[in-house]
Amino acid sequence: MANPLIQLEALSCERDERVLFSGLDLSVFAGDVIQIEGPNGSGKTTLLRVLTTTSADFSGEIRWLGQPLSKARLDYLNNLLYIGHLPGIKKGLTPGENLRWFCGLNQGHQRMSMEEALAAVGLAGYEDVPCYQLSAGQNRRVALARLYLTPARVWILDEPFTAIDKQGVANLEKLMAEHAAGGGCVLLTTHQELDLAGVRKVNLLGYRQVRS
């Protein structure tokens, strides 16, 4: 059996002295699309932030390719793309400028040109329009264009379908399936019912423990 890309061992997290989840064990393999479920406040976004290393407020172990994350953090981050609930773009810049900045951070290792990525998300011709002039859905598409550029194996997406239309949802699902089939993995939260085969669902309510 193939070795997992990511392993979570007895992962637990508290917020404001309240246990969000506890004893979470999860192995994430190449080809996985994993949907993190649970009601609002159950810790879905918190878990994603832990996985992106932007939060260290947890106990347990995270491993990347069998190595503790403390020893493999740089390689892990070089293989990770996170898109949060907010699009994470600068409204004063154009879509082209936002993506050029992103490609600069990735040292030019993009899979296609910035123009091709914007065309793929339906924003051909919007390269030089300031993002503050774009709709919420168009700004979300600018953020999602990064998925077409990055060589990262691990995609962590928090509500990626927010503000995009039906065709955009279908295109994103297709892209996630292609990424997984190519040896990557996707961990996401969404209230959208996914039209993808083989999605693994992890409900955080199953890992909630109440203090006595």
**pLDDT reported for residue 171:** 94
The pLDDT of residue 146 is above 50: yes
Query: What sign has the CA pseudo-torsion 20, 60, 188, 75?
Result: positive
Structural domain for 133, as ranges = 91-152
- Which whole number is the average pLDDT over 44-61? 94
Average pLDDT over residues 104-128: 87
With pLDDT > 70 as the criterion, what percentage of the chain qualifies? 96
**Given this model, what pLDDT does residue 17 score?**
78
Phi first, then psi: give them for residue 118, nearest 5 degrees: -65, -40
Question: pLDDT class for 57, splitting at 50, 70, 90?
Answer: confident
Query: Which of the given ranges, 17-21, 62-66, 102-106, has the highest pLDDT on average?
Result: 62-66
Judge if 2 and 67 occupy the same domain.
yes
Whole-model pTM over 0.85: yes
The answer to whether residue 86 sits within a structural domain is no
Using the 3D structure, point to which of 152, 171, 192 is the last residue of a domain.
Answer: 152
Q: Do 13 and 71 belong together in one domain?
A: yes
The pLDDT confidence band at residue 209, using thresholds 50, 70 and 90, is low
| Strand ranges in 55-199 using DSSP code E only, listed in sequence order | 59-64, 67-68, 80-83, 154-158, 185-189
Which tokens hold the place of 142?
Answer: 């600018």
Mean pLDDT over the full length of the chain: 92
In a domain, 165, yes or no: yes
Query: What's the whole-number mean pLDDT along residues 1-19?
Result: 89
Cα distance between residue 24 and residue 36, in whole Å: 12
| pLDDT score of 29 | 98
- Contact yes or no for 30/2 (Cβ under 8 A): yes
What's the distance, CA 132 to chain centroid? 24
pLDDT in tens, 148-173: 999 999 999 999 999 999 999 999 99
Q: What is the CATH number of the domain that holds 63?
A: 3.40.50.300
What is the rounded (10 degree) CA torsion for 168, 173, 174, 176? 120
Residue with the larger pLDDT of the pair 21 and 17: 21
Name the E strands within 65-164.
Answer: 67-68, 80-83, 154-158
Q: Is residue 140 part of a domain?
A: yes
Number of domains in the chain: 2
Final residue belonging to a domain, choices 111, 129, 152 = 152
At 211 the pLDDT is 43
Q: Could you give the CA distance from residue 99 to residue 123 in angstroms, rounded to a whole number? A: 12
Q: What is the pLDDT of residue 135?
A: 95
Q: Are residues 70 and 135 in the same domain?
A: no
Residue 16 vs residue 185, higher pLDDT: 185
